[in-house]
Structure 1
Amino acid sequence: MSLFFSSTFMNHLDHLPSEVISSILNHVDKTWDLYTCTLINKTFYKYATPLLWEHLEIPGDDTLPYMTAGLEASSSLPSNSPGKFVRSVLIRHALSDDELLAFIKHVPQLNDLSLESARNITDDSFEHVPLYVPHLTRLYLGHSSITQWSIEAMRRHWYRQLNHLEFEFCDGLNYELFSALRQCKALTSLAISHCGLENNNGIDTIQDAAWNVMALPNITSFRIQDYLSNCTPFLPITTTVEQQQQQQQEWRLLPTLFPDDYFDDLPSTPTTPQQQQPVWPYLTHFFLGACEEMTDAMALAFIQSHPHLLQLELSGSPMMTDKTLDAIATYLPNIVNVNVDNVTEVTAAGIRRLMQQCPKLTTVGCDNGHIYPSDFDDVDPSSMEISYYLNGVSYVTRLYGEAFLGY
């Protein structure tokens, strides 16, 4: 909302109740307009200043030093320090350890921190961050070289309230990351992308890591993705003996839903108690990259036990087929987005059935080099993403939007 106050209105601002002022400010959605409100009078300054500083987005290299200097100058007057109003910070540019520590100590009530280009951030600074911002609930860290040392500091100080954690291209981590995170029971969203966990020496194996992450009871969104790693062990399949036996009985009922021998790789060996893993009953978003050992039967077991899924990505499997797509259509009535990139055995016919049977579906990723525009000649080309190759062949990589209107 853009603001313009007439002189008549300005004369009456001193008499407005605080509730009215708060209501006015809640409809101001531009930073410059909030700043203008702080200049009206003392009352507007009092109520507009917390909103002005609540969310900070720092885009360029020059902005952070000036902001830190301003916060430092105001820190001698705690009652007037704007740093106490800051709740979320997004820093897009690269910064050093010293710059991070100089800034972070002035925002003690911070809840949400995103460092998009943290390539110069190491344990030297980050292990101290939890001491300065003890109330943090959300963290995104990209391109950092922090190690398990910082993860342990996070666990000690944030384990009670940290609920959203995302690491991307942080190549100093290994599978021991998850043994520390296991104690962060408040975590609901966890994403680890392209961190090369298997490349760094550690005691824990990928099976240990999978067991530890399965112990988090409140996960609603999980992503693990690395092009060079097989992520299949992170599939949260129900594995207690009793549940396995119940599932075996359900497998026998499948001919009533699918043709005979539809699933030809049903699990036959019940797991031992040592292998038991809890299910994530609240899971709505699941992204598993490079699931090289994933089979249709494994996918079915997972899909059946997580009926609330809205977004599902299972990519990089040479063994999954259209049977997985049919299972999605059968057991996930609210599915919105599906991605089966690099699943080479998925066909256009299977994708078409999925589109026909999922009324809420809006996106299907299908980049496997075998889906052609001619397979969907009834779909508007503007509703498809198409890749064109030098040999003149084109492939459909994604269907979205109006592509689903005719189904």
Structure 2
Amino acid sequence: MATATSATTFNKFPTELIKMIVRGFSQWELYQCSLVNKVFHYGTMPLLWQTVHLYGEDSMTKFRAGLNEQQQAAGPVVRVMEGLDQLVCTLDLQNGTTTDEDMFALMKQIPSLQRLVMSQQNPCLTELSFHTLPQYWPHLTTLYLVNASLSPSAFDALGAHCPQLRNLTLHNCTGLTATTFASLQPCPLEKLSIGYFSDTVWEALDQEVQEDKDEHLLLNGFGRLTHVALWSAPPIFVMHSLENARWPRLTHFKLDVLQGGLRDDQGILAFLRNHQRLICLDLSHGRFTDVVLNTITNHLPRLMFLDISQNPNVRRVGVNRLAKQLEYLCFVHLTFCGLSGKHFPEVGFPRNLDRSGPFALNRKAIKKLQDADKATRRHQPPPTPWLSPAARRAAEEAAAAAAAENNDDDKQPTSVDPYWWKESRWLK
């Protein structure tokens, strides 16, 4: 009797509660839960089919066959496939044999797609698919393309039909021209990762930057950008871009420069001064010096994550000052910078720590540096200069107005995602 009562109670679980229970489960675990009973079946189906990975020709064939079976059925179909076309939100195509025919079929059969990831070269896929794609998937919020053959008309279609596109990755793609970002201006882009282009593409983009620096749409036309990554970018393009970029909401920035980095620090200094909301900064594989570290210390008070790996010109003094003065700093990557644990005796690193291996300062190490600095400083405040009552009131009012204006900037940053540009992050 107790067993029957327990089973009855189990069958009355609210669907919302089941979704909360299984939210962090893997695909296989979700599949196992879907076999428990009808209640768990309906609770897990939206999560199980939310993301579809098609990693080979066989998986593409089976998936399309299932969609066709569902659409051709006259009555109720197998419960596993019921409403599948409405459940799929993310499509991960790791199939080098995907054809235009496959893409057209998917466009028609999955109308509610929100995220599309294609990170393998598809020689059978032409620019016709990318030109048609925005018209069938107008709800796209994320588009991740690698080795894609694009055309100016494809970007025009994205700008015209995808008003919700917020996340865009273009790696080693062809077809980008000087007007590419003008076409994308209607999209409310928040995350942008571009790079690995041919010399021809970089030259076209750089030419537009030089001709119209103040009004260039990549630099000034996307005011909502919070995450930007430039990969294998030529130094000349980086110099021209960083000097004029204005992204007022930028919090995450990744810079990867070709040919051993920039010739000097000047190109990055103005950029850092103009983007004081940064909480995550990746300047690895560069030639930056302590001048850049001092600028970071003075102008990025909210910084939480910094990667300056493989910058052999940075010194212990600059890193030490940065770690001691940035209140929210949690992590500093220093691999292959010529620094090791012996340069930070306050932390107490093991003496046998490999100097040539991975090296970083985590939150615990940074806290020790900050505590050691506080212990050695004098705590006596400087004498307050004499002010007349009127001057004192004016100073207090000015300070209150400045505090109210910068209230949002003074708040502690809540989260940081140093590897937001990874493919797996774009599937969520």
Q: TM-score range by the shorter chain?
A: 0.7 to 0.9
**Structure 2 residue 310 is matched with structure 1 residue 304:** no
Alignment of 1:233-252 (within 5 A): 233-235=240-242, 237=244
Residue type at the aligned position of 1:89: L
**Structure 2 residue 73 is matched with structure 1 residue 112:** no
TM superposition shift of 1:372: 5.7
Tell me, in whole angstroms, the C-alpha distance in 2 between the residues paired with 1:382 and 1:77: 70
User: In the TM superposition, what whole-angstrom CA distance separates every residue of 1:33-91 from its partner, at most 9, and x where no partner exists?
Assistant: 44355445555544433232122233444322211211121123598331211111223
Normalized per residue, which structure has more helix?
2
- Aligned partners of 1:123 and 1:149 also within 8 Å: no
TM superposition shift of 1:286: 1.4
Number of equivalenced pairs? 348
**Residue aligning to 1:21:** 15
Tell me, in whole angstroms, the C-alpha distance in 2 between the residues paired with 1:74 and 1:350: 63
Residue type at the aligned position of 2:281: L
- Distance verdict in 2 for CA 1:127–1:395, change over 3 Å: same
* Greater Cα shift, 350-359 or 132-141: 350-359
- Aligned partners of 1:171 and 1:197 also within 8 Å: no
Tell me, in whole angstroms, the C-alpha distance in 2 between the residues paired with 1:37 and 1:193: 41
- Distance verdict in 2 for CA 1:42–1:182, change over 3 Å: same
**SS of 2:116 mapped into structure 1:** strand
Q: Choose which of 46, 52, 76 in structure 1 pairs with 2:48.
A: 52
Residue type at the aligned position of 1:281: P
- Distance verdict in 2 for CA 1:94–1:130, change over 3 Å: same
**Residue aligning to 1:161:** 164
- Distance verdict in 2 for CA 1:155–1:303, change over 3 Å: same
- Aligned partners of 1:364 and 1:399 also within 8 Å: yes
**Residue aligning to 1:257:** none
**Residue aligning to 2:6:** 9
Residue type at the aligned position of 1:233: H
**Residue aligning to 2:419:** none
Tell me, in whole angstroms, the C-alpha distance in 2 between the residues paired with 1:104 and 1:300: 45
Tell me, in whole angstroms, the C-alpha distance in 2 between the residues paired with 1:294 and 1:34: 52
For structure 1, the residue ranges without an aligned partner over 5 or more in a row are: 1-5, 238-276, 387-393
- Distance verdict in 2 for CA 1:194–1:374, change over 3 Å: farther
- Aligned partners of 1:372 and 1:396 also within 8 Å: no
Alignment of 1:111-260 (within 5 A): 111-120=114-123, 121-158=125-162, 160-184=163-187, 186-196=188-198, 198-199=200-201, 202=204, 204-207=207-210, 211-213=216-218, 214-230=220-236, 231-235=238-242, 237=244
Tell me, in whole angstroms, the C-alpha distance in 2 between the residues paired with 1:171 and 1:366: 35
**Structure 2 residue 253 is matched with structure 1 residue 286:** yes
TM superposition shift of 1:136: 0.3
Tell me, in whole angstroms, the C-alpha distance in 2 between the residues paired with 1:201 and 1:332: 32
Tell me, in whole angstroms, the C-alpha distance in 1 between the residues paired with 2:217 and 2:350: 45
Q: Choose which of 348, 355, 360 in structure 2 pairs with 1:399.
A: 360
- Distance verdict in 2 for CA 1:220–1:190, change over 3 Å: same
Tell me, in whole angstroms, the C-alpha distance in 2 between the residues paired with 1:367 and 1:50: 43
TM superposition shift of 1:192: 0.3
TM superposition shift of 1:125: 1.8
TM superposition shift of 1:315: 5.2
Residue type at the aligned position of 1:234: S
RMSD (Å) for aligned C-alpha atoms: 3.5
Tell me, in whole angstroms, the C-alpha distance in 1 between the residues paired with 2:281 and 2:52: 32
TM-score, reference length from structure 1: 0.73
**Residue aligning to 2:376:** none
User: In the TM superposition, what whole-angstrom CA distance separates every residue of 1:117-160 from its partner, at most 9, and x where no partner exists?
Assistant: 134343132222112211000111123233333222222211x2
Tell me, in whole angstroms, the C-alpha distance in 2 between the residues paired with 1:359 and 1:156: 44
**Residue aligning to 1:251:** none
- Distance verdict in 2 for CA 1:199–1:51, change over 3 Å: closer
**SS of 2:138 mapped into structure 1:** coil
**SS of 2:281 mapped into structure 1:** strand
* Greater Cα shift, 344-353 or 30-39: 30-39
TM-score, reference length from structure 2: 0.69
User: In the TM superposition, what whole-angstrom CA distance separates every residue of 1:272-329 from its partner, at most 9, and x where no partner exists?
Assistant: xxxxx6x322110112332625534x544332332221111345665x4212211212
* Greater Cα shift, 93-102 or 216-225: 93-102
